[in-house]
A and B are shown apart, each in its own frame.
Chain A
Amino acid sequence: MTTTTAPPAARPAAGPALYHPTVARLTYRALLGRRRALLLLGLPALLLVIVVAVRTLSGQDDGTAEDMLRSFALSPMVPLIGVIAGTGAIGPEIDDGSIIYLLAKPIRRSTIIITKLLVAMGVTVTFSAVPTLLAGFVLNGNGQNIAVSYAISTAVASVAYASVFLLLGVITRHAVVAGLVYALVWETVIGNLVPGAKTLSVQQWALAVGAKAAHGDLVHSAVSLTTGVVLLVVVTGAATWYAARRLSTLKPVGDE
């Protein structure tokens, strides 16, 4: 830590820094450790394998491409990567109590949260948007701009998911289960049965943003662009703020 060598003078006078390189490095290392990296790499790899299989099975078809990207890339893959990266950025540290060593350092807790969030967002976007773009090109060579549209959607969704799941990682010890219940039960099952539930779905907001980039009307969302953007910004901002707030009053506890 730089602060240990030059104590209070090291803090810039122009207000607290939002990004702390050492915290970021530690978070990267925790996220891309052996098994997590395996899971994070495995999902995009599986997407590409399936996409190649579908391309050989059905040839180049815009409808199929849109269907595949929506029902496999955007729906189960992005939330799962978001859960792994978002909760993994802070959850294990709180779980085993080692967060206390980080909190004891003279770093603002909001800086810790924002740094971890930026890292989680970076990892989620890299592991979801890039493979989605590739998958779109393999499926139909970016016909009707579908590949780009879905890459944008997944990137936007990744940012929102990362912040929401990071918040879950701070407030509950069962963050992974809670996150997966939201992503899988609420967004897929309830979203299909109750039309109103779609308004409260990160997936639909992201689709609304991505749909603007697509030509034709193959890609469509249940919410309007304005609603989508406003809700995305509000949710991401509120989740980050509340996560920082909760971390300031965190009481570390041992395992069950």
Chain B
Amino acid sequence: MTQPDPIPTAATAATAAARPGVAAGPADVIHNIGYRAYDGPRLGRGYARMSLYSQSLRGAYGLGRSAKSKVLPMILLAAMCVPALIIVAVTIFTDRTSLPLQYTRYAVVTQAVITLFLASQAPQSVSRDLRFKTTPLYFSRPIEVVDYVAAKFAALASALFLLTVLPLLILYVGALLGKLDFTDQTAGFAKALVSVILLSLLFAGIGLVIAAVTPRRGFGVAAIITLFVITYGAVSALQGVASTQEKWDVIGWVGLFSPITLIDGLQTWFLGATSAFPHAAGPPDVAAGCAYLLVVAGIIAGSFSLLVRRYRKAGLS
């Protein structure tokens, strides 16, 4: 408490010098005017982490941000849901006994929309904190690097999960309303649920790692889209060639090299989905099936630890 009062001391010293008869001693008083430290309950680390999570999740859909920022995520959400509504309508009005599109196939077909959402929201979530150097402010709160990364990762994965699960719910509810077979539909829906959870985690991890190393927002967007489109383009071109050469094994193995085909291969092998690869040639054997699982798990875990490493450094500057 000695720090804030050099000015009064100097002032009294000056007045003391001006009036030589008065003693300097008794004027040097620090008055207690009733300031108190905060002694109420502290919400702590868990609360800070939850706040960061919910803010980031809301931010991914533009909630709590400007009206302009809501446009793109909402359009993308609509673009995900409208085809599902159309499919349901067609199914009900033509009295089909099954949905024309499998639940597990939906995310594969709409991958362009999912990629656009990821590319626009991952940099939004982390790039500006890095660019404007606000990360040290977060770490001056009672959260650690792991908390920040976990909150951002979970928020983006949840946002992607919402984006992918909503059309599935529409399909499922629509199918039940259309009196399609309950067990078939529930089994299909449950499988797709598992696969979109994995897809959300995988995409969020890749997107965040790229966004965290590109502080320029626009460049982060381009880098994420480029990665997804180019790997998918390369994989499907190679699969096309392998298909004309009738090398089915190659088709299955090549799928390891792009995010969406990883999910496709994984759900084909472990969840019994029909693959979107040429000739529905999923992973050819047990080794390939396990490779898909290992690669997906490896990328998710690897991206998390890369993010932690990145923020160990960025949190200091």
- Chain B 198-234 near chain A by CB (<8 Å), digits 1 or 0: 0000000000000000101011011101100110011
Task: Report how far A141 CA is from B44 CA in the complex, Å.
Answer: 67
A95 neighbours in B (Cβ, 8 Å): 216, 218
CB of B222, distance to nearest CB on chain A (Å): 5
A184 neighbours in B (Cβ, 8 Å): 112, 225, 229
Q: B68: nearest residue on chain A (CB-CB)?
A: A256
Q: Total interface residues on B, using CB and 8 Å?
A: 31
Task: Report how far A83 CA is from B223 CA in the complex, Å.
Answer: 11
Number of A-B contacts (CB under 8 A): 93
Task: Report how far A58 CA is from B245 CA in the complex, Å.
Answer: 7
Interface size class of A (residues with CB under 8 A): 35 or more
- CB of A50 within 8 A of CB of B119, answer no
- CB of B119 within 8 A of CB of A177, answer yes
Whether A91 touches B218, Cβ cut-off 8 Å, given contacts A57-B242, A76-B229, is yes
Task: Report how far A50 CA is from B231 CA in the complex, Å.
Answer: 11
Task: Report how far A77 CA is from B231 CA in the complex, Å.
Answer: 11
- CB of B244 within 8 A of CB of A50, answer no
B82 at the interface (CB under 8 A from A): no
A233 at the interface (CB under 8 A from B): no
Whether A57 touches B241, Cβ cut-off 8 Å, given contacts A43-B230, A46-B230, A80-B226, is yes
- CB of A36 within 8 A of CB of B237, answer no
Q: A179: nearest residue on chain B (CB-CB)?
A: B222
A43 neighbours in B (Cβ, 8 Å): 226, 230
- CB of B230 within 8 A of CB of A67, answer no
- CB of B214 within 8 A of CB of A35, answer yes
Can you list 10 A-B pairs, Cβ within 8 angstroms, ordered by A?
A35-B214, A46-B230, A64-B241, A76-B230, A76-B233, A174-B72, A176-B218, A176-B221, A180-B116, A180-B119
Known: A64-B241, A67-B237, A184-B225. 19 other contacts (CB 8 A): A39-B222, A46-B230, A54-B237, A57-B247, A67-B241, A71-B236, A76-B230, A80-B222, A80-B230, A83-B222, A84-B226, A88-B219, A95-B216, A177-B72, A180-B116, A180-B221, A180-B229, A256-B69, A256-B128
